Amino acid sequence: YKRVTVKSLVEMKSNGEKISMLTAYDYTMAKIVDGAGVDVILVGDSASNVMAGHETTLPITLDQMIYHASSVIRAIDRALIVVDIPFGSYQSDPKEALRSAIRIMKESGGHAVKMEGGKEIKESIKRTLNAGIPVMGHLGLTPQSIYKFGTYTVRAKEEEEARKLKEDALMLEKIGCFAIVLEKVPAKLAKEVAESLTIPIIGIGAGNGVDGQVLVTHDMLGMTHEFNPRFLRRYLDLYTEMTNAFKQYVTDVKSVDFPNDSEQY
């Protein structure tokens, strides 16, 4: 795919090609992620944790999400850019949801939005879709509801919550979402959902029976240290690499090793 679209993702699923997705919140990171051939870049509200140091995703604002998304958009040649609508910018009513989605599309140039939840936000999603804005769903562990859940443990282990999740996923497909993120649910349930839908299911902590995977880039690079869920595979230990580089820099500056003769004018 020369340029990934919401249609290409559905095609990938029907061709059995898995979808790769990672987060980015800034130009420099997005440029590297896009250049490496990652299909979808999520401007996640995890920026609230990763970029701003908040404990949850709740505090990040729509203006801040638009700032991150516009930085990412300027970097990319190929990936589809999905932007999270932050907490408090779509739950009140469908008009608010549409207004927020329109602001993201107009002011950042993003290609699609993501909202957390099932039937509770059905009308908001429909209204947004009716305006021609592609919507990605997000079910299972939905971090904007963390104070309702109380913990970040696996969701939908019990029959009743699993049934609701399946109903919600079917509903999201029926009203026209182009894909759904399933976060931290049993692999067996995730596989069942993926097999029963034609739109792609992108998993995070949802096993390998789904149609694609997403991780937070800073986590998979090993830049973050304290966050150690079972589903996280670290491809680098950048925390250590960067710490060593910074320490070396301090040593070199203190000892006047840096700059040397060839590093000055």
Do the beta carbons of residue 175 and residue 217 sit within 8 Å?
no
- What residues numbered 83-102 form the site for ligand KIV, per CB under 6 A? 84
- H or E element at residue 179: strand 179-183
Sign, CA dihedral 106-112-114-115, equals: positive
| Residue 136 sits in the site that holds ligand KIV (CB under 6 A) | no
Residue 191, exposed/middle/buried by CB under 10 A (0-12, 13-18, 19+)?
middle
Q: Which is nearer to ligand KIV, 13 or 44 (CB)?
A: 44
Q: Which is nearer to ligand KIV, 12 or 180 (CB)?
A: 180
Report the partner that residue 216 touches, choosing among ligand KIV, Na ion, none (CB closer than 5 to 8 A by kind). Answer: ligand KIV
From the list 76-84, 172-180, 221-229, 256-264, the region that binds Na ion by CB under 5 A is: 76-84
**How many CB atoms neighbour CB 80 within 10 A?**
27
Q: Which is nearer to Na ion, 45 or 173 (CB)?
A: 45
| Residue 45 sits in the site that holds Na ion (CB under 5 A) | yes
Distance in Å, CB of 165 to Na ion, minimum: 17
Q: State yes or no: 211 annotated in a binding site.
A: no
| Residue 211 sits in the site that holds ligand KIV (CB under 6 A) | no
Residue 104, exposed/middle/buried by CB under 10 A (0-12, 13-18, 19+)?
buried
d(CA 247, CA 139): 42
| Residue 219 sits in the site that holds ligand KIV (CB under 6 A) | no
Say whether 17 is catalytic.
no
Residue nearest ligand KIV by beta-carbon distance: 44
Which residues does residue 138 pair with via DSSP β-bridges, in sequence order? 181
Establish whether the linkage from the previous residue to 86 is cis, with ω within 30° of 0: no
d(CA 118, CA 145): 12
- What residues numbered 40-59 form the site for ligand KIV, per CB under 6 A? 42, 44-46
Q: Which is nearer to ligand KIV, 113 or 197 (CB)?
A: 113
Q: Which residues sit at the interface with ligand KIV, rule CB under 6 A?
A: 23, 42, 44-46, 84, 181, 183, 204, 214, 216
| Catalytic site positions | 183
Q: Which residues sit at the interface with Na ion, rule CB under 5 A?
A: 44-45, 84
